[in-house]
Amino acid sequence: MTLKERDKKHLWHPLTQHKLHPDHIAITSAKGALLYDDQGNEYIDGIASWYTCMYGHCNSFITDRVAQQMQELDHVVFAGFTHEPAIKLSEALIAILPENQEKVFFSDNGSTAVDVAIKMALQYHFNKGGKRSKIIALEDGFHGDTFGAMSVSGLSVYNGPFEDFFIDVARIPAPTKANMPLVEDLFKKLLSKGDVAAFVYEPLVQGAAAMKMFDPECLNTLLAIAKDYGVVTIADEVMTGFGKTGKHFASLHMENKPDIMCLSKALTAGLVPMAITTCSEEIYSAFLSDDMSKGFFHGHTYSANPISCTAALAGIALLQSEEIQENIQQIIASHAAFDAKIRNHPKIKETRQYGVIYAIDLNVTIERYGNLRYQLFDFFMQHGVCLRPLGNTIYILAPYVITKKQLHKIYATIEKVLATF
């Protein structure tokens, strides 16, 4: 029995209608920017496996350190205990985060990082004697699949059956220079009611919204307004964090910094699951009390797992290395050169780039999970390139270790696909 046949017996895959798409490609190994299937086919991982493996698959710099850690301390409960990998990670992370970030709270994935942030914001106001229950989020945002994260997400394709159960959320458009007067006015009207606890946003790039990008100056203005109204600002950097926008974090493009940040995905370089929610000293201090009930009663069994912390430490070391920083700049320049070549193609409606993130909107209507989208995915895979279109948007977010030859194969395959419809 093949791996595909065995897969069908028991596995339920994410974001999949199994009646329509019962078959899944069996990947047996990976190295650098390449994936290999059970038939010996090779694929360039053009999306770094959902933006996680940014330093390449099976990077020995990371795996060697994790292997060593596995022989010393595999796991210990983080309530009442601590360990060096968690301490070292907190020190390394705080050193590269925006200067107002001081405290590190561990969880398991991007969704839980957002849930933790929402709970922190709501309890922050509660502990200070205020009652604020509303959250403001951006239209078309995506923050995860757990209930808090779903509540602040704006993509009904994911949330439809559950919307009656969400927390109270108001939405504003992502700010641009064109709509900023309208957005600013709406934002102030919502804040003036005095019941808004937090403003949640993906800084500069909305990933699941087909890499929708917006202006840092406009976002900076909204952050300043939120601060004036005493609203906690939450930057969801699960996708944008760790170098993807050209800086270590997208929040570093703005003068006004978030009160809370959510991190995952590339945090552990794609090796193992982990998430972190960081916050300012002001947020943390609101939980310090002789009253036990004012503490933050949230915990995950695998919080601060030493193996995950070790992977994250290795990833941060790579991020700060001269080689990776040079690679990031090379990818940015390569995308810009390709964009100059392709942007006026008649099959292309729009192109956009932020750092290593490059997106193309095709001049055709495609359902997010429609037949044409799957045809494009199959075309790419048949040509040895792993890209997952979001509706009519083709995007590239490849590992930082991708070679020039591999990157140019992605570009060439995109040009080929433009001739197919």
pLDDT in tens, 375-417: 999 999 999 999 999 989 999 999 999 999 999 999 999 999 9
pLDDT value at position 150?
84
Terminus-to-terminus CA distance in the chain, angstroms? 36
pLDDT > 80? residue 9: yes
Residues 6+ apart with CB under 8 A from 5: none
Q: Which helix (H) or strand (E) holds 262?
A: strand 260-263
pLDDT > 80? residue 21: yes
Whole-number mean pLDDT of the chain? 95
Report the alpha-carbon distance of residue 170 to residue 191 in Å, rounded.
10
Question: Span 78-98, mean pLDDT?
Answer: 98
Model confidence pLDDT, tens digit, residues 41-81: 999 999 999 999 999 999 999 999 999 999 999 999 999 99
pLDDT > 90? residue 155: no
Question: Span 114-139, mean pLDDT?
Answer: 96
Q: Count Cβ atoms below 10 Å from residue 386 Cβ, excluding itself.
A: 21
In contact, 249 and 266? CB cutoff 8 Å: no
Question: Span 122-146, mean pLDDT?
Answer: 95
Give residue 156's pLDDT band: very low, low, confident or very high (50, 70, 90): low
Report the alpha-carbon distance of residue 238 to residue 277 in Å, rounded.
10
Question: Span 355-375, mean pLDDT?
Answer: 87
Report if residue 14 sits inside a domain.
Answer: no
pLDDT value at position 339?
98
In contact, 316 and 92? CB cutoff 8 Å: yes
pLDDT value at position 262?
98
Question: Span 114-143, mean pLDDT?
Answer: 96
For the record, the structure tokens of 366 come out as 């495609």
pLDDT value at position 208?
93
Residue with tokens 């993807």: 244
Report if residue 43 sits inside a domain.
Answer: no
**Structural domain count of the chain:** 1
What values do phi and psi take at 278, rounded to 5?
A: -105, 160
pLDDT value at position 147?
85
Report the alpha-carbon distance of residue 244 to residue 58 in Å, rounded.
20
Report if residue 258 sits inside a domain.
Answer: yes
pLDDT value at position 24?
93
Report if residue 417 sits inside a domain.
Answer: no
Report if residue 269 sits inside a domain.
Answer: yes
pLDDT value at position 158?
67
**Between residues 156 and 357, the one the model is more confident about:** 357
Q: Count Cβ atoms below 10 Å from residue 169 Cβ, excluding itself.
A: 19
Segment among 15-19, 85-89, 236-240, 322-326 with least mean pLDDT: 15-19
**At CA 49, angle to CA 46 and CA 51, rounded to 5?**
85
Residue 282 belongs to domain with CATH number? 3.40.640.10
Report if residue 286 sits inside a domain.
Answer: yes
In contact, 262 and 235? CB cutoff 8 Å: yes
pLDDT value at position 366?
76
Report if residue 340 sits inside a domain.
Answer: no
- Strands 196-201, 205-206: pairing is unpaired
In contact, 400 and 243? CB cutoff 8 Å: yes
Question: Span 171-195, mean pLDDT?
Answer: 97
Report if residue 10 sits inside a domain.
Answer: no
Tell me which residue range forms the domain holding 296.
63-319
Model confidence pLDDT, tens digit, residues 247-270: 999 999 999 999 999 999 999 999
Radius of gyration of the chain (CA): 22
Model confidence pLDDT, tens digit, residues 279-338: 999 999 999 999 999 999 999 999 999 999 999 999 999 999 999 999 999 999 999 999
pLDDT value at position 368?
65
pTM of the model: 0.96
SS3 394: strand
